[in-house]
Copies of this chain bind each other. A is one copy, B any other.
Amino acid sequence: MTISAVRALTFDVFGTVVDWRSSVIAQVEAVATAAGVTGDWAAFADEWRYDGYIAGIGRVVRGEAPMVTTDVLHRAKLDELLPRYGLAALAEPARDNLNRAWHRLEPWPDSVAGLARLRTGYIVSTLSNGNVSLLVNMARHAGLTWDCILSAEITGAFKPSPRCYGEAVRLLGLEPHEVMMVAAHKNDLLAAAKSGLRTAFVPRPLEAGPNRTVDLTPDPSFDVVANDFHDLATRLGCA
């Protein structure tokens, strides 16, 4: 069995482990309500994520911008969004606190218990583009127990750069085929596979909300496809 050598699971986090969208909408809405401002906070969250974070990562990966932390990417977009949504008056430290909404995301219903099961049989680590402090704070907030926090900030490159996967494997003291990338996103898994990692696809149909299409079709090359982390634990032989 191709996956019998796997010793460690590395997890994409935003969207795969936590429901960033509902969490961010709720936190932005709470700030706006306190300020007496109404608006489309789902659109705010989507702009923040896709036009801010995802686009910013892409510029770094393509070499068009220098490496920065996710906190910095989030903050740059937040400062642009707030005036457009009637929240220009939001001052420090409330603005910094809202930027840290991404440190306080809620897990999917199966994440905490599924991860605990997986941890009985495998080293479980993050492998996220989020910065270390974001991931540490999120884990404590959400009750996620990781053996290790690995991040683009540590590997020196954002996913899907090969360096991100390669450095993570090296830091875990393993060979690529002993590490399985777990993600809800095909591009992450296809890039991991190019670096020799095994792959587990856990589609999260609710990640992107009603206005965006999520690609839920697994690639034939994926080693495992699971409905959620409980299903993944069962498929990987965890009690």
Contacts and interface: CB of A to CB of B under 8 A. Distances in A.
Interface of A: 71, 123, 125, 131-134, 136-137, 139-140, 145, 147-149, 153-154, 171-174
Contact of A149 (B71, B148, B153, B174): B148
Residue with the greatest number of chain B CB neighbours at <10 A, chosen from A125, A147, A172: A147
A171 B123 contact: no
13 contacts: A123-B136, A125-B136, A131-B173, A132-B148, A132-B172, A132-B173, A133-B171, A133-B172, A133-B174, A134-B173, A139-B147, A145-B145, A154-B171
Copies in the complex: 2
A87 B137 CA distance: 47
Contacts of A140: 123, 147
Question: What are the 8 A-B residue pairs with the smallest beta carbon separation, nearest first?
Answer: A133-B173, A132-B171, A148-B149, A136-B148, A136-B147, A133-B172, A154-B154, A123-B136
B133 A71 contact: no
Nearest to A71: B173
A148 B133 CA distance: 9
Contacts of A136: 123, 125, 147-148, 172-173
A141 to B, nearest CB: 11
A216 to B, nearest CB: 32
Contacts of A147: 136, 139-140, 149
Given A132-B172, A145-B145, A154-B171, 5 more contacts: A133-B172, A134-B173, A136-B148, A136-B172, A147-B149
A140 to B, nearest CB: 6
Contacts of A148: 132, 136, 149
Contacts of A71: 173
A170 B137 CA distance: 14
A172 B69 CA distance: 12
